[in-house]
Chain A
Amino acid sequence: MVAVLADNRSAAPAISPVHEATPEEGRALLDRRARRYLGISGDEFLCRYEAGDYDAELDAPGVQNVVALLPFIQPLQQAA
């Protein structure tokens, strides 16, 4: 049995609402992370990912840091 979250937390820090990223923001985010963790642009990462270049190392640190962000652009891809 688990407890249901009660909204009575005390002294909660001030936080900003989480916004829904635009497709443009998502692409910029993916580009920044691909450069940080893999040393390539977001576009290059997407080309390699779609070509299956990462299929054998999807679990690798670095790769997963970027793969985890694909939902930020997938709705845009599917709508295209």
Chain B
Amino acid sequence: MPRLIAARSEAGAIRQYLESFQEAIAAFAENVIFAQSRPHPKTRVRSLTMVSDDVVWLQDADGELRLALGIELSFRTVQIPGPPARWMVETTKYIYHLEGPADPANALVSYHWHPDVPGITYPHIHMLEAGSPARRMHVSIPHATVANAITTAMRDYNITALPAHRDTWEELLAAAGETLRGSLQPAETPWSPL
């Protein structure tokens, strides 16, 4: 079920939104540091990315680093008409990609939604096999979340959660996925406190 953040402050909405992604990632990799941009002066859009490294390294059950995950998100806050005044977050763009451990990076797949690019406003994936003409194909998919990217990595590359989170990773991934889905069209999404 999409999960809509409705906080009493703009900062609170952003914090809850970002924490859901951070907690999901933290179940798979330690010491990942994120930064956000300042809000754009006109659109108020902010971007989120990792700054501790360009990607998050995911490991298998033996501790071997098998895949890298890259994440870029753009979002903005939207005020819900009140009273009471509440704020929610709208995701405006996302890019996740998985890379193999080769140097230079061996990109495998990208999940894209960038509705600011004319003609390609729908969510899609790129299969990134080096040199393949399929790299430029935009294979239409339903909206994807970071949970989709990580569960693909778990299924197909034996990626596992960190030992401390092997009982909770599923809940954390689900929360991140539901938060993103709830943020895709927040102004059009009815909500009610439970």
**Chain A residues within CB distance 8 Å of chain B:** 1-7, 9-16, 18-21, 25-26, 29, 32-33, 36-37, 58-62, 64-65, 67-72, 74-75, 78
Cβ proximity bits B1-38 to A, threshold 8 Å, 1 near / 0 not: 11111100000000010111011001100000111111
- 7 A-B contact pairs sorted by A residue (CB < 8 Å): A1-B192, A16-B22, A64-B95, A64-B114, A65-B70, A69-B37, A72-B49
Complex Cα distance A60/B126, Å? 9
Q: Are the C-beta atoms of A2 and B167 separated by less than 8 Å?
A: no
Q: Are the C-beta atoms of B168 and A59 separated by less than 8 Å?
A: no
Cβ proximity bits B106-133 to A, threshold 8 Å, 1 near / 0 not: 0100101010010010000010100000
Cβ proximity bits B161-189 to A, threshold 8 Å, 1 near / 0 not: 00011011001100100110010000001
Q: How many A-B residue pairs have CB under 8 A?
A: 147
Selected interface stretch from B40-48, B59-67, B139-147, B149-157: B40-48
A7: chain B residues at CB < 8 Å are 16
- Interface contacts beyond A2-B189, A62-B107: sample of 14 additional A-B pairs, CB < 8 Å, sorted by A: A3-B2, A5-B4, A5-B16, A9-B23, A13-B164, A14-B26, A59-B120, A64-B110, A71-B40, A71-B45, A71-B74, A72-B49, A74-B40, A75-B37
**Chain B residues within CB distance 8 Å of chain A:** 1-6, 16, 18-20, 22-23, 26-27, 33-41, 45-49, 51, 54, 70, 72, 74, 93, 95, 97, 105, 107, 110, 112, 114, 117, 120, 126, 128, 135-136, 138, 164-165, 167-168, 171-172, 175, 178-179, 182, 189-194
Q: Is the interface of B mostly helix, strand, loop or mixed?
A: mixed
Complex Cα distance A32/B49, Å? 13
Complex Cα distance A61/B99, Å? 12
